[in-house]
Structure 1
Amino acid sequence: MKNNKTVILGLHFGHDAGIAILVNGIPKCNLIRERYNRAKHSFGINVSHIEESLLNAELEIEDIDMIAITSTQAYELVVVDRPKELQIEYGEHPNKKIKSILYNENFNENNNNFNTRLGGSIINNVYCDDLVASRSYKNQFPEYKKVKKEDLGIKKSLRDFAELNFWKQEMGLKDISDLKIKNLLNEKEKSESLFHFPLRVTLKGRSIPGVAIQHHAAHAASAFYNCTSKNSIILTHDGGLLETGPLNGMIFYGESNKILPIFPHHLTIGDLYIRVGNFLGFDYFGAAGKLMGLAPYGKPIFFNEDMVGNTYDLRFRGIKNLRKSWLKNCIKLAKSMGYDLDPIGNCNRILEPICIDIAASTQKLFERTLLQTVESISNICLNNEIDIDTICYAGGTGLNCPANSLLFKESAFKNIYIPPFCDDSGLSLGGAQYAYHHVLDNPSLEISNKSYLSLPYLGLKNSKNSINEAIKSFQDQINIEDNINCEQSAAIDLHENKIIAWFEGRSEIGPRALGHRSLLSNPTYSENWKRMNELKQREKWRPFAPAVLKEDVDMYFSGLQNESPFMLFTGQVLKNNLPAITHVDGSARVQTVTVETGGLFLILKKFKELSGCSVVLNTSFNGPKEPIVEKPAEAINFLVTTKLDVLYLNGKKITRK
């Protein structure tokens, strides 16, 4: 290729769709579709977004060596615009041979056996007339209002990849912990080829080799290839709907540049967690995060140890369906204890005892199931003489901070590594990294601490011209201050108890604001919990997270691992002067800040000088039911349409007139 570069384009078509570009294994950018069409959890790919990403990375279509494709369970490969310019076919490209068990042993695109492995029904739900059944999917794809279904490019996604025969054994978590896997690790040729499949991709007239990558293999890659450890055990899990098999998640072994699938864990706790949130009244997307925030208000009074385990553990105990049995367990106990059941499903009464105690009980069930799973994984390592102190963890369940913290405190693993984009927003990058390292056999990269801490900031660059145009369009409504020390000014504003927005450089990838698209306030004022929820038009009970200088974290929080740069672990608040970020149980979801974070580091330094406190309240810069702000015009519009006090936008201080 040009200048000896190997360029991988990663396309994730499922919810939280995205486009990632790797050059010689190094992430160059990652465009998340929801940030551009302003609809949370959007799916599908736009050719125009591919063009924008390539331009941002200073590349052309001719530079692309391979296209890695992933999707979410049940989501088709949907091309939203100009479908004739992005076409995907299953099968080997004449210029690139890829070893794939499924392709080599089973492929014929007209073969019924292969066709049964293809999936996708979401786009039909979007265009159906049943608004109740399809509402969540319509929200993910607002283009349905303007684009006819027949004008889209739609291809069934490869859902069921190859499997090893011994995966079909009915094993509970204890059985899994006794697995002997040395032969599997010593005879890698087959296991290395299970979770990818060759493609022929035509992009704007150019035929390019492609590879389809299994959903959880891409999750595993997004964690392992961005971890500082060369060898690691890997756990993936999400809200997959099946009761058994690889589609709900896997245990993998990462060694050097390869990721080897070991065994499916058969967990359904991720799906249950979301469904309980739905049961209490939350929308499907967003239910898990809200349930996590609600749980500390209650007591785990309905917890039942018999329901801890995977699908086979439960079946061995006579429990056929975890979701139905868990809710039946909660309601039966609640009735016997005299709870008022009327608040269930009514978000206006979400803080009633029945709701908060179901939430707390479900959280405990989630935590104990996850811990038991990780204990089984630890035993696999012990029994097979695999000396590893790090577990990588990805999939949407990795966003559950209390559970992550429990793993750190009680599991045998010294390090718990979870990427900032452990949800499906990380699949475009994970897929590209899997293609580069695992499929093309390029060596793993040395991940420095600096590159690890800078990992989230992969959004596209905003040009000076786009900033100037945004300012011009709002010029009659705003005041601009240039040539000032914005970090110092922001710290002064926070000390004076103003709520500010901080917009810096390239946006964070993943659902958490990590200092480039953040709303900040002073955590020492208790009213700022209420003020910030009102500003964002969120439920008044929802908590907020602190950002703290890493060097000072032990002064304010206990129970954390060495660092928490991606806001994925909780700690206990040690001081009573941080009411705006202290949850009702005394916990907080902590982000540790270093110089790699950017301007937030300097803000905290100056704020500490002014106030004696090196903690600020940090939440994502977005309005109600909106994705995180991506572009300058969106940031300024937020300022002029809300009660935000100050916006700092790439070196400019902006206020309303």
Structure 2
Amino acid sequence: GLGRDNQIKILSELHFPHSLGLLYSAFTYYTGFKVNSGEYKVMGLAPYGRPVYRDLILSELMDLKEDGSFRLNMNYFNYCAGLTMTNAKFNRLFGGPPRKPESDVTQRDMDLARSVQDVTEEVMLRMAKHIHRETGQKNLCLAGGVALNCVGNGKILREGPFENIWIQPAAGDAGGAVGAALFVWHQYLDNQRTADGQNDFMKGSFWGPDFSRDEIGRYLQNKNIPFEEIPDRDIPEKVADLIGAQKTIGWFQGRMEFGPRALGGRSIIGDARSSQMQETMNLKIKFRESFRPFAPSVLKEKVSDYFDLNRESPYMLIVAPVKENIRRQMTKEEQSYFGLDQLHVVRSVIPAVTHVDYSARVQTVTEETNPLYYKMIKAFGEKYGCPVIINTSFNVRGEPIVCTPEDAYLCFMRTNMDYLIMGNYLLNKEDQKPLDRDINWQKKFEND
């Protein structure tokens, strides 16, 4: 589509069932993960594998054209009429049945993930080049579930013809609410659209609930929860010192994020310099698969010092390579590792956020959008020489991101987080009493 002023004109479209997102979801199902939830696991698993099935996908499952349009061979899929994504013919093509959920991830699963990821990137890049040839525009906007594939987004940015790309922060189905409202407001009712050519108007995607200092304080006092009250001016340095001491901290500040990414409103944070932090946070706090990478939050003005990225990525939707000069040279033995054996190799000065292919899903932070989060990262950088921290969503596997002070406290107590900062209130795990009559929370939420 082409957007001008307050109107969008559709130039071309693909129709169900020929969907890149559904192809990706089919492989999500086949590799044993939950459809409409586990696609990002496939993306995270892909760098551990090799694209051995890429040509098979392109020859048997998909008729891909030069302009990025395609048709799927529906003889291999079951999602139109059945209760599964794939069928017996798909199983025969790829040498066996789908992986059982929660079973061991094999090299075959990693190779399948890598193969469908490579195909997805190829389709995205062809589409981007075609759109540029047809329109001559310099700016590209992306939305839809596939636009959450931040590896593909990064490839379009690096190898595509557009000067700028922008991805809606709630690019999946949830963002359709924004699109529908804006479409009616501008295109149907013909209201004026204002834009300054530099900033988006999503306000950092902080559209969720906020809780005042008094509301948080009342909750803690009513529950007799021990805390230390910290003045506003002291929060950045206090939290920076906790990160520097290798503590994991729940960060609950301001309005909640709209979309699937934690952006410094409801985050769990830690030290990106730690070689142990990724495994610690995955297994002891998030209770999720060890292969899943964590994302860095970095000051916007420092992003090019650590990543091959020269622009903003405020919504954590662009993957970029870690800079060559901060990478660690691997030994011959380390270079020979395959699969999950690659996980424990230290690859850079920020190993906790450096994936096995030397990539990172970057979030840039500005003082204008999130001043307290910015000041905390800046304080950490000034004191410890690294303006980069780990940022992951404040939840455990299968649970929604925490919204309220009670959500945050319960998640904090049920995991091995060391500290929780909610507004001005700092909670030390060592000061807390065990939860009284807690539910079996790991059974409350279905694994994603």
TM interval, shorter chain, is 0.7 to 0.9
**Cα distance change of structure 1 residues 449 and 263 upon mapping to structure 2, 3 Å threshold:** closer
TM-superposed CA distance for 1:423, in Å, is 1.2
Partner residue in 1 for 2:385: 612
Partner residue in 2 for 1:587: 359
**Backbone CA RMSD of aligned residues:** 2.5
Q: 1:347 aligns with which of 102, 109, 119?
A: 102
SS where residue 591 of structure 1 aligns? strand
SS where residue 347 of structure 1 aligns? coil
Tell me, in whole angstroms, the C-alpha distance in 2 between the residues paired with 1:602 and 1:643.
Answer: 26
TM-superposed CA distance for 1:450, in Å, is 5.6
SS where residue 52 of structure 2 aligns? coil
Partner residue in 1 for 2:174: 425
Partner residue in 1 for 2:333: none
Partner residue in 2 for 1:543: 293
Task: Tell which has more relative contact order, 1 or 2 (C-alpha 8 A, sep 6+).
Answer: 2
SS where residue 512 of structure 1 aligns? coil
User: Is 1:378 aligned with 2:132?
Assistant: yes
Tell me, in whole angstroms, the C-alpha distance in 1 between the residues paired with 2:88 and 2:360.
Answer: 31
Alpha carbons 1:280, 1:347 under 8 Å: kept? no
Q: 1:366 aligns with which of 120, 126, 130?
A: 120
* Counterparts of residues 113-512 of structure 1 (less than 5 Å): 252-266=1-15, 267-304=18-55, 305-306=58-59, 307=62, 309=64, 313-314=70-71, 319-321=73-75, 323=77, 344-350=99-105, 352-381=106-135, 387-447=136-196, 449=198, 452=201, 454-475=203-224, 477-483=225-231, 485-512=234-261
Tell me, in whole angstroms, the C-alpha distance in 1 between the residues paired with 2:203 and 2:69.
Answer: 41
TM-score of the superposed pair, with normalisation by structure 1: 0.56
Tell me, in whole angstroms, the C-alpha distance in 2 between the residues paired with 1:586 and 1:617.
Answer: 16
User: Unaligned regions of 5+ residues in structure 1, if any?
Assistant: 1-251, 336-340, 382-386
Deviations 1:523-573 (A, max 9, x none): 111110011112011111111001111111111111x35111110111111
Partner residue in 1 for 2:350: 578
SS where residue 140 of structure 2 aligns? strand
Alpha carbons 2:267, 2:394 under 8 Å: kept? yes
> What number of residue pairs does the alignment pair up?
390
Amino acid at match of 1:274: S
**Cα distance change of structure 1 residues 638 and 347 upon mapping to structure 2, 3 Å threshold:** closer
Amino acid at match of 2:353: I
Partner residue in 1 for 2:342: none
* Counterparts of residues 545-560 of structure 1 (less than 5 Å): 545-558=295-308, 560=309
Alpha carbons 1:367, 1:403 under 8 Å: kept? yes
**Cα distance change of structure 1 residues 376 and 549 upon mapping to structure 2, 3 Å threshold:** same
Amino acid at match of 1:537: F
SS where residue 305 of structure 2 aligns? helix
**Higher mean C-alpha deviation, range 480-489 or range 434-443:** 480-489
Alpha carbons 1:343, 1:354 under 8 Å: kept? no
Tell me, in whole angstroms, the C-alpha distance in 1 between the residues paired with 2:108 and 2:388.
Answer: 34
Alpha carbons 2:248, 2:418 under 8 Å: kept? yes
Alpha carbons 1:474, 1:636 under 8 Å: kept? no
Alpha carbons 1:308, 1:365 under 8 Å: kept? no
TM-superposed CA distance for 1:482, in Å, is 3.2
User: Unaligned regions of 5+ residues in structure 2, if any?
Assistant: 79-84, 327-347, 432-448
Alpha carbons 1:550, 1:563 under 8 Å: kept? yes
Tell me, in whole angstroms, the C-alpha distance in 2 between the residues paired with 1:322 and 1:401.
Answer: 27
Deviations 1:288-314 (A, max 9, x none): 111111111101111124436279744
TM-superposed CA distance for 1:462, in Å, is 2.0
**Cα distance change of structure 1 residues 427 and 399 upon mapping to structure 2, 3 Å threshold:** same
Q: Hey, which of these two has a bigger chunk of strand by percent?
A: 1
Amino acid at match of 2:272: P
Alpha carbons 2:213, 2:424 under 8 Å: kept? no
Alpha carbons 1:529, 1:580 under 8 Å: kept? yes
Tell me, in whole angstroms, the C-alpha distance in 1 between the residues paired with 2:86 and 2:130.
Answer: 23
Tell me, in whole angstroms, the C-alpha distance in 2 between the residues paired with 1:547 and 1:359.
Answer: 26
Percent of aligned pairs with the same residue? 33
Tell me, in whole angstroms, the C-alpha distance in 1 between the residues paired with 2:204 and 2:159.
Answer: 27
SS where residue 416 of structure 2 aligns? coil
Tell me, in whole angstroms, the C-alpha distance in 2 between the residues paired with 1:303 and 1:536.
Answer: 32
Amino acid at match of 1:582: T
Partner residue in 2 for 1:60: none
Tell me, in whole angstroms, the C-alpha distance in 1 between the residues paired with 2:427 and 2:164.
Answer: 42
Amino acid at match of 1:279: Y
SS where residue 64 of structure 2 aligns? coil
Partner residue in 2 for 1:102: none
Tell me, in whole angstroms, the C-alpha distance in 2 between the residues paired with 1:642 and 1:570.
Answer: 28
Deviations 1:259-316 (A, max 9, x none): 222221344121010111111111123121111111111011111244362797447x
SS where residue 314 of structure 2 aligns? coil
TM-superposed CA distance for 1:582, in Å, is 1.0
Tell me, in whole angstroms, the C-alpha distance in 2 between the residues paired with 1:273 and 1:523.
Answer: 30
Tell me, in whole angstroms, the C-alpha distance in 1 between the residues paired with 2:4 and 2:69.
Answer: 29
Amino acid at match of 1:647: L
Q: 1:626 aligns with which of 384, 393, 399?
A: 399
SS where residue 441 of structure 1 aligns? coil
**Cα distance change of structure 1 residues 631 and 640 upon mapping to structure 2, 3 Å threshold:** same
Amino acid at match of 1:585: D
**Cα distance change of structure 1 residues 493 and 646 upon mapping to structure 2, 3 Å threshold:** same
Alpha carbons 2:75, 2:89 under 8 Å: kept? no
Tell me, in whole angstroms, the C-alpha distance in 2 between the residues paired with 1:527 and 1:289.
Answer: 22
State which structure, 1 or 2, has the greater radius of gyration over its C-alpha atoms.
1
Tell me, in whole angstroms, the C-alpha distance in 2 between the residues paired with 1:482 and 1:286.
Answer: 37
Tell me, in whole angstroms, the C-alpha distance in 2 between the residues paired with 1:500 and 1:527.
Answer: 15
Tell me, in whole angstroms, the C-alpha distance in 1 between the residues paired with 2:424 and 2:249.
Answer: 14
